[in-house]
Amino acid sequence: MNNSPSERDVLSTRGIPRSYYEALFRETDGLKKELETKSVLSSCRGSILATVFMEPSTRTRLSFHFAMVKIGGEVIDFGPVEAASIAKGETFEDTMRMIDGYAPDVIVVRNKVPGSAKLAADICNAPVINGGDGSNEHPTQAMLDLYTMQKIRGSLDGAKIGLMGDLAHSRTTSSLSYALDKFDNVSIFYIAPSELQVRSEVVNALSHAHVEKAETYENIIPKLDFLYVTRLQKERFVEPREYERLKGSYQLDRASLSKHSKLPFIMHPLPRVDELNPDLDTLPIAKYFEQAKNGMYVRAALLKQIVSASRSS
């Protein structure tokens, strides 16, 4: 498999070519099939994944954990930040150097500081996967998002995707934008109140995708194959009153969608707060739990690829 151009670390989707996703998704399909008949495989037997989550996580941490166990490896989790020496003032750098000293085969790191995964990769000998660095990037979320879209639509070429919500603070939509840009004739509609619109650094990095911006989804919905919704990133607001003001500024439910005859597939990285009403969950267009489930298989394929590349080097 063609690894990311920045070699073994997975820090960003910016430089990842489409051939990488194509190979990763073939591997994902293969593992998925094998796991239909066996509960645990042996591809990564004897390998250790270290998970270091310094911001809350449910899906990313758990799906990486399940993924490594399913392919025969072991996982050591850093545990809650409050229980670690970070709480005594130890630096991120010292913590990463120490964990790397225990010689894990791969490390997943999540931290609120943009650029922290790159910093960890510079320090560590083990390959580092960015599990989310502040509002910057979340590359493995983009991988599972693309995988889910491709399964539904057959191809990503020509896809029309609405990215809606707190785009200003979102790391999932930036990584997803860079990844979508590698496919042909993709249209991305950034849908958000002006205060939450996509960061210019994200749009400026795109070289292929057709880009439009809108404040509301009403007129955009009929054009879309997928509507990807994100929550308001409360923890990234400097001013709590600003969060309260914008809370509820975009919400989807059955009633709001009922005026449209053609509906896009609804996606969401989760967790949701109040932007996606649970009354949508039983609709066949609701794909967010499928995304979360796919995450385990895509991450298993990624871990397998990284571990086998480092074993053979």
Q: Identify which of residues 112 and 210 has a Cβ nearer to ligand NCD in the complex.
A: 112
Nearest CA-CA partner of 276 in 158, 164, 190, 127: 164
Q: Identify which of residues 17 and 271 has a Cβ nearer to ligand NCD in the complex.
A: 271
Question: Per rule CB under 6 A, is residue 116 in the interface with ligand NCD?
Answer: no
Report the DSSP beta bridge partners of residue 50: 76, 107
Helix (H, G, I), strand (E, B) or coil at 110: strand
Name the segment binding ligand NCD (CB under 6 A); options: 7-15, 19-27, 263-271, 282-290: 263-271
Residues 229-248 contacting ligand NCD, CB under 6 A = 230-231, 233
Q: Identify which of residues 8 and 138 has a Cβ nearer to ligand NCD in the complex.
A: 138
Q: Identify which of residues 47 and 137 has a Cβ nearer to ligand NCD in the complex.
A: 137
What angle do the packed helices 288-311 and 139-153 form, to 10 degrees?
120
Which DSSP letter does residue 195 get? G
For residues 8 and 139, give the distance between their C-alpha atoms in angstroms, rounded to a whole number: 13
Question: Per rule CB under 6 A, is residue 95 in the interface with ligand NCD?
Answer: no
**Token pair listed for 301:** 């394929």
For residues 28 and 294, give the distance between their C-alpha atoms in angstroms, rounded to a whole number: 9
State the chain's maximal CA–CA distance in angstroms.
Answer: 58
**Token pair listed for 261:** 């005859």
Site string for ligand NCD, 75-94 (x = CB under 6 A): --------------------
CB of 148 to ligand NCD, least distance (A): 12
CB of 171 to ligand NCD, least distance (A): 5
Name the segment binding ligand NCD (CB under 6 A); options: 1-9, 64-72, 269-277, 280-288: 269-277
Taking CA atoms, 217 is separated from 36, 226, 233, 250, 293, in Å, by 39, 12, 19, 9, 27
Residues 125-164 contacting ligand NCD, CB under 6 A = 132, 138, 141
**Residue 234 CB coordination number (10 Å):** 14
Question: Per rule CB under 6 A, is residue 59 in the interface with ligand NCD?
Answer: yes
Cβ-contact 44, 71 below 8 angstroms: yes
CB of 37 to ligand NCD, least distance (A): 29
Q: Identify which of residues 43 and 230 has a Cβ nearer to ligand NCD in the complex.
A: 230
Q: Identify which of residues 4 and 111 has a Cβ nearer to ligand NCD in the complex.
A: 111
- Sign for the CA dihedral angle at 126, 171, 295, 161 comes to negative
Which DSSP letter does residue 199 get? P
Question: Per rule CB under 6 A, is residue 287 in the interface with ligand NCD?
Answer: no
Rounded to 5 degrees, what are φ and ψ at 309?
-65, -40
Residue of 171, 182, 299, 304 that binds ligand NCD (CB under 6 A): 171
CB of 6 to ligand NCD, least distance (A): 21
- Tell me which residues touch ligand NCD (CB under 6 A): 59-60, 132, 138, 141, 171-172, 230-231, 233, 269-271
